[in-house]
């Protein structure tokens, strides 16, 4: 290639000198004409290879099922490659065209060399972006922090590329550049602190499968409560349920506590864990006529009949004095109400019967006796989950008076006014 370029760019000067033209005039005229020839030749080669590469890639994309080649086209990889060929020609031609102008040969040679290094970095970046876009379309990689790894590779490449550019501009060898980089490593670590921490965190997140794109996470420190939409080297973006976006430093995922709801979404049900407060003064033993009245409640009718018979047999067998209700065995309104709630939960169509389901008492509080429902809804979607839970508690709260119980409620001004009027 060097002989061909010598022949192209060196034949004008001897001709001008043979015509008896001066040294300076022949030199400048041949320089201008050589530059014009180089521009025309470079542009022609660029357009030719751009057409060939784009056309070939378009044909390949039409004949293949994979989307990788389509992404190569959309990321302009072939265009960058087409530029590399003519700029290589320029790089080889500059020493020949400017051999009589040492200063400008050095300047333009370095500039073209720097641009070629940048062009190679752009080609690699476009290939990495293509790989990134392609992997995101594959289900098993769609929720992985691919962006973080691509960014780390690009940072390393840019550092290497900058070292090559500096060595070309200042004539420093790569060995000397490594020595200089080692000396300023402390400054580099300080500048790229968040990037280094983000890379380590990204590796931990990927290896430990802590967070995936699409996961619902809650991180109160940053006000994040929504779906992860992006994981890159420095930040994790969360689209909250109010459609705002919260940006979280990637390294905080490994240093701070957060809640990932993926386990719930992958399970067979979403937990319902809520209680009501029963006024403690309304909890008591039930009278016989009250039990007879409660037998009209279908869900507990068999239980009342069976339990009532067992209690009567026990009290009679042990000659229990029933002049006081506290003696012997009895049924309480709260105990019967708990049984009713359990029966109601088991016949509710929106709950998973294969998971834990119960109605339980919690520790008594100054505000009453907490009665908690613990169950799992079959539908885990937020709106439907809230509907199922509200439907259950609407029924439970409305059922309280039927069991001679009352809900605890903080007194209001209206309550005091009503009391005073009495």
pTM greater than 0.95 (yes/no): no
Q: What pLDDT, on a 0 to 100 scale, did the predictor assign at position 87?
A: 78
User: Which of 159-163, 166-170, 184-188, 223-227 has the least mean pLDDT?
Assistant: 184-188
Q: Is the pLDDT of residue 11 over 60?
A: no
Mean pLDDT of all residues in 152-170? 75
* 359 pLDDT higher than 80: yes
343: its two tokens: 């029966």
Mean of pLDDT values over 138-143: 69
Taking residue 146's Cβ as centre, other Cβ atoms within 10 Å add up to 23
Instruction: Give the HSE-up count for residue 138: Cα atoms under 13 Å, Cβ half-sphere.
Output: 13
Mind spelling out the 3-state secondary structure of 9-37?
HHCHHHHHHHCCCCHHHHHHHHHHHHHHH
Q: Quote the CA–CA distance of 95 and 98 in Å, as a whole number.
A: 5
Choice among 161-165, 204-208, 273-277, 336-340 with the minimum mean pLDDT: 204-208
* Of 138-147, 215-224, 303-312, the least confident: 138-147
Q: State how far the Cα of 359 lies from the Cα of 338, in Å rounded to an integer.
A: 6
Q: Which residues belong to CATH 2.30.30.60 in the chain?
A: 207-266
Interior/surface letters 188-201, b for 16+ CB within 10 angstroms, e for the rest? eeeeeeebbbbbeb
Q: Is the pLDDT of residue 4 over 60?
A: no
- Whether 320 has a pLDDT exceeding 90, the answer reads no
pLDDT value, residue 420: 54
Spatial CA neighbour of 304 closest among 313, 293, 315, 314:
293
pLDDT at 351 over 70: yes
Mean pLDDT of 282-307: 91
Residue 401's pLDDT band (cuts 50, 70, 90): very high
Q: Between 330 and 107, name the one with better pLDDT.
A: 330
Confidence check: pLDDT of 412 > 80: no
Spelled out in words, what is the top-level CATH class assigned to the domain 207-266? mainly beta
What would the mean pLDDT of 296-305 be, rounded to a whole number? 92
pLDDT for position 67: 74
Three-class DSSP category at 238: strand
Dihedrals phi, psi of 285, to nearest 5 degrees: -75, 150
Compute the average pLDDT of residues 151-155: 75
Query: Can you give the pLDDT at residue 387?
Result: 94
pLDDT at 274: 94
Mean pLDDT calculated for residue range 315-324 = 85
The single-letter DSSP state of residue 220 is G
Band (pLDDT 50/70/90 cuts) for residue 80 is confident
Average pLDDT over every residue of 220-233: 85
What is the residue-averaged pLDDT of the chain?
79
How much is the pLDDT for 2? 47
The winner for highest mean pLDDT among 114-128, 247-261, 336-350 is 336-350
| Percent of the chain with pLDDT strictly greater than 70 | 77
Q: Which of 127-136, 138-147, 255-264, 285-294 has the lowest mean pLDDT?
A: 138-147
């Amino acid at each position: 290639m060097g002989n061909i370029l010598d022949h192209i760019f060196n034949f004008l000067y001897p001709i001008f000198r043979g015509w008896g033209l001066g040294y300076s005039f022949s030199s400048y005229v041949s320089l201008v004409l050589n530059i014009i020839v180089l521009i025309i030749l470079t542009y022609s080669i660029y357009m030719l290879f751009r057409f060939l590469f784009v056309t070939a890639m378009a044909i390949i994309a039409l004949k293949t099922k994979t989307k990788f080649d389509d992404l190569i086209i959309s990321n302009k990889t072939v265009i960058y490659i087409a530029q590399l060929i003519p700029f290589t020609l320029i790089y080889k031609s500059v020493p020949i065209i400017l051999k009589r102008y040492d200063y400008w040969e050095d300047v333009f040679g370095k500039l073209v060399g720097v641009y070629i290094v940048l062009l190679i970095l752009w080609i690699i970046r476009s290939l990495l972006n293509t790989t990134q876009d392609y992997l995101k379309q594959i289900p098993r990689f769609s929720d992985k922090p691919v962006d973080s790894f691509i960014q780390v590779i690009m940072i390393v490449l840019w550092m290497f590329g900058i070292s090559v550019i500096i060595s070309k501009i200042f004539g420093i060898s790569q060995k000397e550049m490594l020595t200089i980089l080692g000396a300023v490593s402390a400054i580099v670590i300080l500048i790229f602190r968040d990037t280094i921490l983000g890379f380590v965190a990204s590796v931990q997140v990927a290896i430990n499968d802590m967070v995936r794109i699409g996961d619902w996470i809650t991180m109160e420190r940053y006000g994040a409560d929504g779906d992860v939409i992006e994981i890159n080297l420095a930040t994790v973006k969360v689209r909250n349920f109010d459609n705002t976006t919260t940006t979280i430093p990637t390294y905080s995922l490994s240093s701070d506590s957060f809640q990932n709801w993926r386990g719930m979404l992958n399970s067979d049900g979403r937990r319902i864990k809520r209680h009501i407060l029963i006024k403690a003064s309304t909890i008591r033993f039930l009278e016989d006529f009250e039990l007879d009245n409660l037998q009209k409640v279908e869900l507990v009718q068999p239980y009342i009949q069976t339990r009532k018979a067992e209690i009567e047999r026990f009290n009679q067998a042990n000659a229990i004095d029933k002049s006081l209700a506290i003696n012997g065995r009895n049924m309480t309104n709260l105990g019967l109400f708990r049984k009713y709630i359990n029966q109601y939960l088991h016949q509710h169509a929106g709950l998973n019967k294969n998971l834990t389901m119960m109605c339980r008492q919690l520790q008594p509080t100054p505000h009453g006796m907490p009665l908690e429902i613990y169950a799992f809804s079959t539908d885990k979607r937020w709106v439907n989950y809230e509907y199922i839970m509200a439907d259950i508690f609407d029924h439970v709260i409305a059922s309280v008076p039927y069991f001679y119980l009352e809900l605890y409620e903080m007194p209001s001004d209206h309550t005091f006014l009503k009391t005073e009027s009495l």
